[in-house]
Each structure stands twice: as C-alpha cells, then as structure tokens.
Structure 1
C-alpha cells in the first residue's frame, strides 16, 4: 500500500520536512534523572533515525513559575542554550529535525514540586491541583509574553529547527482564552478579543524574536471539553487571528487534563477528533495538524488524502515503536508495534512522577539501559508460557541470536491478553498479539501450542536455559458454599464456557472484575453487581483511565457494593455478606469469582527439585499487583541476561 500523501515532503519557511509525520510533544520525565540530558538525547535520536518528519519535545518552561515540575525541560536561562545543544546535535546527526515546545503550566503547576505559587489569569483552582493560583498582574502578563519570546530565541540558538507555542490542553495560554478560567476585567480578559490577546501577543513576540526565516508552530485547543468554555465559533475566530500573527502551522489539541471526557485512552475510537482539525483547516490557509488516537500510518495517509489537514501528529505511537515511519515506508505494517492507548506506562507514570515508558515497548525511555546486543554464545532457550512475559522473553532472546522454543498449553498465544482484547473498548490488544505473532515468526521462534509440559519432557532436558512464564491461577476465596454449581471463574466467563443468565454477581472489584462486568454487559446480561471488601473499585487501574472505567460502569448501571466485612456463605445461587454488622444477601443466576490471583509455579518447583535452574517471571513469580506492563518488562530484562 502506497502512502503518497503521508510521505510527501513539506517546506515550512527554511525547513524542509521529508514527510508529513510529526512526533507530537510528550513529557517523558527523563530530564530529571542522573545523566538526564544523555537519556533524553538517546530517546530522541532513536526516533529521528527512522525518518520521522519532525519531533516536538516535551514542554520546556519559559520561566520558573511555568514549570510542570523538577524534571521538565527549561528554556528560561542562557545556560539552557548550551544544555540542549548535545540533544539537537544528536538528532541532526541522525538526519532528523526537532522543535522545542515553549511551555507554561499556569494553574496546572504544583507548588510542592516547584516551590513557587502557580499563576493563572484568575485565582481559580483547578480540580486536579491542590493549589489556588495567583492571578498574574498586568506587568507579569507582559513579562510572560517576553519570556516566551526569549525562550524562542534561546531555542533557535540551541539548534532547534523550530518552536511550538503550547496553547492547548488547559495550560496557561489556554487558560487565558477560556471564559471558565479567565475572569479578568482588564486588557487581558472579559471579551473574547481580550481573552485571546495574550496568545496573539506571544505569537507576535516569538516571531519577532526568531526572525522571518524560522518556523513557528502553535498548538491551539480545538475542543476544550470543559462546560462553558470556548465555543466552536470562537475557536475558528481564534485560529484566523493566530494566522495573522505570523505563525506557520496550527497543531490542534483536544481536551484539558481536567476534562471528564476521555480523549486519548483506548476506549476512544481511532481518529475520533480528526473532524475538529479539519473544520479549523477550512477556515485558514495555514497547514493544520490533526492529532489524538491516530496510531496507524495507513489511517494517517487516508486523513491527508482528504486534502484538509496537512500534517499528522502521533505522539505515543513513537513510544510503542520508534521505527513506525520507517516500517510504514517499507510496507512492513504488520511489524509495527502499535500503540494501544492503555496509558499504563506513559501518562500513568508521569502523573506518578516517574519517567514515561511504554507497556508494549519497555525499551522506551530506557534507551541507555535496555540495549539489545547479540549474545556471546547462542543457546537453546525454552520459554514455558506464551503470555505477555513469555512472548517478550522469546522475542528478545531470539533477536539476540538464541534458538528459542515457546510452549503453551492453550491454543493461542497471549495468555490473559486474550481476555482483555474481547472487553469493549480494549480491542487494541489484538494489535499487540498480532505484533508478537509476526515477530516470533520472523525471528524463527519455534512456537508449540496445545502442549502441556511435564518435568521429564525431552524439551526440558535439551534446553540450556529455561524461562518459566506460566502466569497465574485465579484465587478461590474461602467462602462457605463456594463450590456451588452456580459459582464460576472469570476465566469461564471470558472463554465462554458457561452461560450466566440475566442476573450476575461478581465477587471482586479490581480490574479483572470490572472487565468481566463490561464484557457481560456487552453480551446482554441485564443485572450485574460487583461485591468486594474494599470501598475503592477498579483498583490497580491507572489514574488516567480508572475514572473512565468507573464512569462507564455507572453508565451501564452496574451496581457496586463495597465495604463488605465478611462473606457469610453462598447457598445455591445466593450470596450472603455483612456490611456494618448487618446481613445482606443477593440472589443471582450466576456468581463469578474475580477475587485475586495466585502464582502458577508448580512446574518450576518440580524442575528445581531435579536440579534444573529455572528463571521465573511474570505471574508465575508474583501474582499480586501483576499487570501486562510489569510482565513484558520482566521478559525484556530476563532475556537480555542470557
């Protein structure tokens, strides 16, 4: 399949892009680590190496109050010019282009991290921040405009090929534009014209600071998804006014961090917000960028062929696969490690103050640590279990030159990922399974399915190294009557082994229990009740998606009963329990157990008794707190040690 539109060059002032792909801005948190500049440089170099059109960095604070935290890029000191030259030099050595994003967090800045009161147009606290911001004075507004301009000048001197002004996602500039956060009555607030004045003056000042030969991108909010915020008509007017200031490209962002509408999780359909950028593009003559939930180069090409937007921004897809553009150029689409928009290792890490990585690609953000080198001597490696840990261990071991055999008693690879893929809104896991299936075939891994190994099997005797990744077994809680015929495991639900009827009780309230509830609702089950001892449901799910899961459960009228002190018994298909000392019972057609997991390492114990060294990873090693992110990471690390 040709990608004529996506691979078309584009000139922006003095900058020639080799294609229409932007690696969108992401804060990855590497800057604050030891040797942070080196780590960040290697991160960007790898993505520049494989024909990315242009990279946009994570936000670089234009002044001290604008920083998102201690591990953010900065561009407000003259020393920052020399600090970032190794990064721009490294990207250029790989044949790449890179733009610096000029950033101010506004009321999203945390005083606990910066030591400074956050600032904003008005002293209105964000619902996702504990701090009440201080309203900028007129003089401080003027100074902040100059801070953006000086940051742009420094970026140019540091070797960046362009700058992008961050005016989206609810950060400071966006806060000035919105009537929800800007309640000023001076020259910088009130009417729409005054609310957008801050952004226009910044754009003009940046253009003056960098000259006529230097590209300036502006990331504008195309849709705030905040009640009472900027209207569609105002957004179009804003875009037209920005064009007059001399910016070269409008990059359209969607939603604020405090929005209660999902915008980038896997539950959001692919290309869901492209129409927003297309509508803006019809009102301006500038190149407009579409973004959000575009993770397949073929989709990107189709968007561009329509002739509205001129560029496509993909951010997290470059975490999942640094070679995404090169593989697309080569027509190797099945080899792309597709971003599944799970948020578990990228956004969830960032909001927990950890460096970003990627569930499906644990090498992301660890380029200086998880290097893949050929093995000194090829070995026969036996991997038992084809769940996420076993799949990654097999892939890495084979890529290093080992002869790998992968065994699983199931009929297909993937382990519990095969449950996730059939949950409504989680179909992207099909892509991960496709990626591994293709990689194992290309690397010559001998995959043997429908095979259960015993400790005396010839494959075990013949192996130089054994990796056990047999996963978990569901935990059966100690409840009187739990062996009732009406009681089944969540595995039975996902594997379709038993009909549940219209009224189901699920014992458990974690991620698997929630997935089972949504799966059953999608199959037409009328009444579902989740029971658990804890009061917090969907625990274990990352904070960027947990709220959306709970919201979906409520929308689908799934009952959630927490705070259970004891389960009295299960009698037939009725479960009885105590809350605050009072007994309650619920009658159901089926009771589903989704109350935790136990390690499945019995084979490892038998082999170790026979004197064989076995490396246990994934759920076979620790069931508590296990997820695909941890399992794939362990597979990646283990296979590098052989």
Structure 2
C-alpha cells in the first residue's frame, strides 16, 4: 500500500472504526460492515442484462462495499419475476456476474437474493397459502396444495444450489414484505387449517423448512441470510414474540445472518421515502440483535457513513445495508474510507428513478442524482478528444449536472447564475419539511464545482453580447423555468401570490388559503403552510407519533391502530385542480400516497373538477363540477405549472451563437429534476 492510500485508509478507519472493522462469519470474513442491499433493477429481464448487471455490481465492488446482495431472482416460474435461477444453464450465465465481481475485489462477497413474489406475482398462476387477494395484487392467488408446498420448498433449495454452482458466496431468502414466505406467517393471508396454518408454530413451519432444505443443499460453508419481517407495519401483523421466535428458529437451522425488514407492501406507513428520518427503524434491529447469536443486518434510510457508524456504535446491528445509496454513489464506502465524505453523491430517498420505475410498469431503474446507475455500459464520462471552452447559464439541477460532467471530461466550464447560490429549484425543495436531503445534493455539486475547476459566477446576469465577447466555443442554456400565470380574471389581485414567494417566505399568507394547482409543487406548498413544529423527517419520535408506530411496546406489526397524531398549523387550506381525477394521482407511485395521507391528516381539503373564474376581494370564484362556488379565502397561491425560460436561448440563436438548451428551459411541463439531470448528463457526455 502506497503512503497516500495508507493515509486515506487511516482517515476513514479512524473516523469510522465500527464501519471498517471486519466481520468473521466462521468459514469466511467480510472486510467491512457495509452491505449493498438488494434492489431489482429491471436489467434482470433486459437483453444483455446479465452483462450489464456484471458491470453494475463490479463498479459497486470497486467502490468498497463488503458484501453485495443481488436483485431478486425467482426459484421457479410461479415466483413471478421475469428473472429466474433454476437450471445449470442459467447458473452458467450468472457466472458472468460472480466472476467479474470476484476479479474486481476478491474480498467482496456477492449473494443472490431468492425472491418468490407469491400473491404479488403479476400472473394468474400466482400462488399463496390461501386464496387471499392482496389489495395491491392483480389476481387472487391459487391455494397451494401439500404437493405444491413441497414443490416450492424444493425449488428454493434448488435455486440456492444453482447459486452456489454459479459462484455466488451465498444467498439471501426474503421472508417479508407480502411475498410468499411472509404470507404463510401472517394470519390474514394464511387461513389454512392443516399443518401449514393455524397456530404460530404451524405458520412459521414453511420458512423454517425452506431454510433447513436450503442448508442441506448448499452445505455449511455458504452464506445463508434470511430477511425477517422485524416490523411489518400491519395492525394484524406479527407480534414481537413471533418475530423473535422465528429468527431464533432460523438461527437453529443454520442461518448465518438475519436481516431485518420493515415493510409490507400494503402497509399504510412510509418506510423508505425522504419524509422518513434517517435510521428510523434500527432500534428494532438492535432489540432483536440482543436475542440472537448470529450477526444481524439493519436497513432503511441510512445514506451517509456517519449514520452507518452511529448505528453500529449503538449496537443496533452488525452490518448496515445501503441499497439506494449505492445507486446514487457506487464509491460511497471508498470515499468514506479516504476521508472524502463531502464528495459523496447522497441518496435523497426521492424514489423517482428507482422504486417508481420498477413498480410502475417495469421500467429500468436508475437514479435521479446519478443517471449512470444501471447504465454503466451505456453512459460514461470519458476524457474529451478536444477540450472546449463552454459557458453554462443557470446553476439549477440541469446546469449543475452539465457543468460537472463536462468539466470532469476536461472541458473548461464557466457557470453563470443570476442568483446568490447554486441550486435553482432545489433551493425551493429544500425548504419543504421532509425534503431536507436536498441540502446534500447541493453540498455535493458545490464540492464538484470546486474539485473540477469550474469557474462559478453567481449574482451574474448574462446576455448574448456578453457571452459573444468572452469567446466561448459553446453556450448551454439551463435557465430553468418561470411560473406560469393562468388566465384568471383578477390574477393580479393582492390576494394572489406565487408559490415561489410563499416557499421563500417573501410574502405573508392568511389563515384561509386556496392553492391553485395540485401537482408536486401544490402538494409541497400545502405541506409547508400546514406544517407546525419540528419536521418529522428530522425526529424519529415525531415521525412515529405521526404514523402510529409504537417502537417501545411493539404491538402486532409495530403499529398502534389509533388515528394519526399530526401537529397542524392553524390554517384552512383547499388544494385544487382542474382535472376531475383523484387529487395527487400524478405524484410518485411509491410516495404519493404518503403525501396525500399526511395532508388528509392535516385537514387539507382536496377539490377536483375546478374551473377558476375570478379572484377579487371576496376570494376565489369557481365552478366545481359545473356548480358555482366561492372560496372565501385570504390568500390564493398560484401553482399552475411552469413555462420554459428561453429568452436568452432565443437571443443567442438570433445572434448566431452556437448554443443548446437543457432542463426546464427545454421542457417545463412539470418540474422534473430527474429528467433535467439525466438529459444534461447525457449531453455533457457527448460534447
């Protein structure tokens, strides 16, 4: 090890001694306590997907993790995932993954997750212990016969044997979240009266038998992890005593590692959205850890190395799983080891390009803050053949992404913005309670500007003549958007204010408010003006109280079943939209429901089918589903969409200056940082 690397390593190991301590599993050892958790990426079912997955995982192995769990692979056809591992031929394909990971870093362990979706499978042939249709499932599952249960158990064991044949270091069996195994455990989904149902001993027979048979199939020197539903967030879910007895029974059957999971896909509690505090659930893992002999993994909203260290130092876990953070920055662990934490591209738990993609029609997963995620073979930032002098106008998400990628490739970039700080619309988002993580993205981009030698010029308004005089090879306009002013009689009335003035607290608002527009911005504004007290995303106790979680007593499922207790500002709020569909329907698939639930708990009245007629001293005159209605409110907040701010682009085009446009200035139908960063990064990769 050279002196520089030794110094960097000492910095990280001194700062995070628990995180970088090895873990002895007896027959093998993990080099540190950071696990890249399982994520289904969509590559599993893509042409050349195995090759792309190999590159994806190798990049994370190179980035310093101790162990990797793959996305889920089904043990059989009825498991419901397009990706399956059940034959030697399929195992041979998987060797492409294990071989490149082990070549990249022989110390990194990689395990295959065995995932049987059970009643959540998207096919009529889906199976379960009882024919109970999930609320979010497409079909009523077929009830497994005794022979069918035996087949499923055998298929789990065979899948594990094929994983060993493929060169994996182990497997993780997921027994939570509403998938097959967990439906045997919970009474509402297991209504059997034979030896597989009824008493708790019978209901946990299936996972225990699966583990016993898997261990027989793979032998002793093969990592066997099991993900237990430590707190499933269901009112009639598992009792704490059941969780403990299940984990201890699995331990007795030869599980090497227990992973704690905090999710049932039908649970009315958010567990991974940005509104969830960091490390909110690790205390549950810590309580379980005290009752087991094998190491325990914890997870959920752990996105920075200092959080990892705190969790481990408290004794809440032996290993910390970081899934989405490894999409955002594959070098997270390496940067922590080298004392470069301020260079980490932090996961903001937005779910927009990861979970929303994989659950919304099978789109390929990526990452809002890192569009290279899952595109490692397609999108690379190679050194430019010809270095150019480039002006980027606008330091919002698109401008920041373009500037940093172009500069990384060797171009000389000058970044202009008329504001006093970088960030653009992110500076609005970070003001909203529950979106504090946006500060991390701006910290990251600020550091990249410094490291890549970008000439940042804030408080600077440019025009075509100025840019021409500076002799740039190219100009990129990332000037963003301007709020759209709807055609409503009286829109200039003092009662009408822009959402920007509200979020930045430049104008006061009254005790009764109508919000015109119920897109993402309208919901953010409603959250901001109805919020009172400390943000729940910054306080686990407040979060637990707001969502009815009882960490102390751990009733069935961990939830109290009583109405939510939400501190609310003293304000009457109407959230309105023209469309006649459900308010909030266009929000993120995996987070929108939680935002709607929060505003409902705060008493926000959601109104659809609204035609806006006039604003005057009396308030907002409308027709709701054709019926005239006056909303007697003091303030009307306009969140009626955006228009591209392209004045400079048009001016440059007229002047004959080579220019391109990106981000909101290109398209502003709805603020979309995911699209803006992706588009800008791809453009900068080609310039």
**Which TM class, normalised by the smaller chain length?**
over 0.9
1:518-556 per-residue CA deviation (whole Å, 9 max, x = no partner) reads 111126451111122113322442110111111111011
Name the CA distance, whole Å, in 2 between partners of 1:600 and 1:636: 20
Question: Is 1:469 matched with 2:473?
Answer: no
- Structure 2 counterpart SS, 1:40: helix
2:130 aligned residue: 122
Q: In the alignment, which residue of structure 2 is the partner of 1:16?
A: 29
1:600 to 610, 621, 645: 645
- Structure-to-structure mapping, 1:569-608, within 5 angstroms: 569-572=614-617, 574-608=619-653
1:245 aligns with 2:249: no
Tell me which of 370, 379, 383 is aligned to 2:388. 379
Q: 8 Å contact 2:468–2:657 — kept in the other structure?
A: no
Counterpart of 1:85?
A: 95
5 Å matches for 1:171-182?
Answer: 171-182=179-190
C-alpha contact 2:226 2:258 (8 A) present in aligned 1: yes
* 1:96-111 aligned within 5 A: 96-111=108-123
Alignment of 1:456-605 (within 5 A): 456-458=465-467, 461-522=470-531, 524=569, 526-535=571-580, 536-564=582-610, 566-572=611-617, 574-605=619-650
State whether structure 2 residue 67 is matched by structure 1 residue 59.
no
1:630 counterpart = 2:630 = no
429-438 or 581-590: bigger deviation:
581-590
Other structure's SS at 1:57 match: strand
Q: 2:268 aligns with which of 251, 260, 274?
A: 260
Query: 2: CA distance between counterparts of 1:573 and 1:455?
Result: 46
Aligned to 2:544: none
Q: Is the 2:642–2:671 contact (alpha carbons within 8 Å) kept by the matching residues of 1?
A: no
Partner of 1:27: 40
Query: Which shows bigger deviation, 148-157 or 13-22?
Result: 13-22
TM-score by length of 1: 0.97
Higher RCO (CA-CA < 8 Å; seq separation 6+): 2
Map 1:439-450 onto structure 2 (within 5 A): 439-450=448-459
Q: Does the 8 Å CA contact 1:521/1:556 hold for their aligned counterparts?
A: yes
CA–CA distance in structure 2, aligned partners of residues 63 and 256 of structure 1: 22
**What CA RMSD, in Å, does the superposition of the two structures yield over aligned residues?**
1.2
| Range 594-603 or range 569-578, more displaced | 569-578
Conservation of the 8 A alpha-carbon contact between 1:509 and 1:539: no
Partner of residue 316, structure 1: 324
Aligned 8 A contact 2:274 2:434 in 1: yes
- The answer to whether 1:364 aligns with 2:373 is yes
Cα distance in 2 for partners of 1:460, 1:64 equals 65
1:337: which partner in 2? 345
Q: Which residues in structure 2 correspond to 1:291-440 (within 5 Å)? A: 291-352=299-360, 353-440=362-449
1:233-277 Cα offsets, whole Å, 9 max, x none, are 111111111111011100101111111100000011111000111
Residue 2 in structure 1 maps to residue 47 in structure 2: no
Q: Please give the alpha-carbon distance, in whole angstroms, between the structure 2 residues aligned to 1:185 and 1:34.
A: 44
Which residues of structure 2 form unaligned runs of 5+? 1-13, 533-568
What is the SS of the residue equivalent to 2:620? strand
Q: Give the 5 Å matches for 1:65-214.
A: 65-68=78-81, 70=82, 72=83, 74-95=84-105, 96-111=108-123, 116-214=124-222
Aligned partners of 2:612 and 2:276: how far apart in 1?
37
Runs of 4 or more above 6 Å deviation: none
Aligned length: 634
Displacement of 1:47 in angstroms is 0.2
CA shift, 1:4, in A, is: 0.7
| Separation (CA, whole Å) in 1 of partners of 2:627 and 2:618 | 20
Question: Which runs of 5 or more structure 1 residues have no equivalent in the other structure?
Answer: none
Q: Deviations over 1:270-314 (max 9, x none)?
A: 110001111111111110111111111111112112234211111
